[in-house]
Structure 1
């Protein structure tokens, strides 16, 4: 939504103090989610809201909780115990939310406090002691303050979980349950999420009362402000395609996503060597480094940011109109959250997936499951980029103003000593030298990469199952053998670190591992039939796994003879496996001295 000068169309149901702030910002038309939150019918209700990332959710829940916090008053009384609590998944998003609410509630004399990891905890404690009407924080730091007695939630009237699905993906479920359990039962609870997977639905049932479900955008509707493109390249030319895509774009700023920190470091160095003004974001960076990188993007000193998924969650960069997936997203939720960094609040954006030939099927699957339609295109070549350079150089020359008095004498001297052709050639060479040299790419036929009609599969989002499933490798993996290990969602199990652990423990490769299914307290995974016997022998050896982790075939864990079940049926779907509820496999809580109830991640 783009603010304008006419504020006549703002709903009268918005609290007057907030309406004046919106008018001062030039808002004339609210986004769909903001209109829903301004609806007087939801003024006292718990809400479960799904809306696209970048749809103006911060202003939306600011509008939604205003009457709950202020009542009919125009301003807050002196600050004491907090009345409202906003929980966000990352430091950047929490700070961003606080800034937005500060201007939205400016006329109410609001006092806000932030409690986020990576910041000075003593300063946060002093701010809480001085009093705050509204607290914005991340789950882990909020829990720390509650445990230490610095944050009292006894007066809380409204709790908002922003990007709730991301918080569950990051393993904050226990922290959220602790925080919500510490807040009064007589409160409003608002859950905002881009998607509503099973975990969010369970959280809503546990901590909300008769919540009103609001889906602002239909699940099958593609984000109209984001254009999706797929660029198919040779596997050894992926970085070349990224460079040429950046050079061929008119974007003022771009965000490039990689899977790992090492990939971020490598690509950042590569782009810097090629002359790009580039910064990076990854989880290993200190908060000051992350803040400096984001500020460089905001003030225009940097034009490209290379980031991991976790590091870039929740950030909002102005004028970001290009997102590049250097690595194909592993699941639909990751694709949607990455892409949602652009096309925000009515701005147009482009999302480009760089797809090596051998990852073509994976890209088609993730687009189909995300219900997105992408345009296939070839990677920009040298000729295209050089033609763009020439147009830019010509535009720069034609848009130059006539020489002023201070310049006129020296311009006359230049023309007297050098021909116009030589001066133009010097200008041309200077302009070309200031631009990165494009890469030579091998021509590839543009395959049909349009998203196919999605199947109703448990790998997709929503009520059809968890998003932590891993698609089987190979053609169906017929006759695969299922194994189990005692780590589940309760121990924050994640395929990203489970897969390497499984491979190391059993001496197999990633291609030998099929589906990975994470339940509450256990994980079941499939090993190719021809590797299963050797895998079973290997994991029985002492020291093959970390202390406290026992990997067993599923049938043995159920107390029955081991046989290669279940097999895959038509369409590559595994047969139904009963959930393990026995005591054959110990959980991490059987080993409190070493693990204290939480798994030690490999590496």
Structure 2
């Protein structure tokens, strides 16, 4: 503080008497943020089958990326798909012209990106994006043209593996076991004010239509809607004329909070525990009034592994993220 500011502050401080108050720790703790994460395992045979096909595309693409660089076609390519996808995104927009590649010694090597490698990275990023669509309920069909190829295992054994010649994705919001679970829960909990968090606007529109068909009145909130329309929707939710809101997860940024909501439903988990925590706290759950946040996860898919990593991150930081985590069956949570 500058001398001028200090002198001005002293004049005001002389007019008041300040008494330091230390409230009981228990009085403060009850209002601290606390979440009740309920992980709901959802079984969907069709989704699991499509996830397996997308997984084959990812594995085959990793094998071909390694083959492009080292001329080895391996059963286990030993590459980090997430890292390659991130680098591919930078290459696609011209921010880099090389690939940091793990060599046989484990040391990274810088590889120039040729046309074939650029195409393979694009295929990998596409598979990652479509897998997210699948878990959200936005992938209708995956068609792969598959053939067999010889690959080498770690011990030098040559094995036949499936390889993908071509793949086609059909993207549209579709009926999944997650959608059916959400509609069923909303039907049976009409007295509970609920927000359903989705990533995509078309999934939100589809889910809203399914709710309407089941007789569940709801409003939709998404980033592109007008201010007056948004205020009207929130007012209807606050006064209880509707009890369900379908909300795009990027809606309103950090300042968008709905403390009058009783529970949240996430159609899918996020990778970032900070982002997941921030979004779940939109309903202002505290130790005094704990509110459930249901996170829907497709069983027997990569989404289960993704959710496990998310929970590990949350549980590893108990001081920063105060939460109770329980796993419930789709039937037992309704």
More strand by share: 2
Larger radius of gyration: 1
Q: TM-score by structure 2 length?
A: 0.45
Q: TM-score by structure 1 length?
A: 0.26
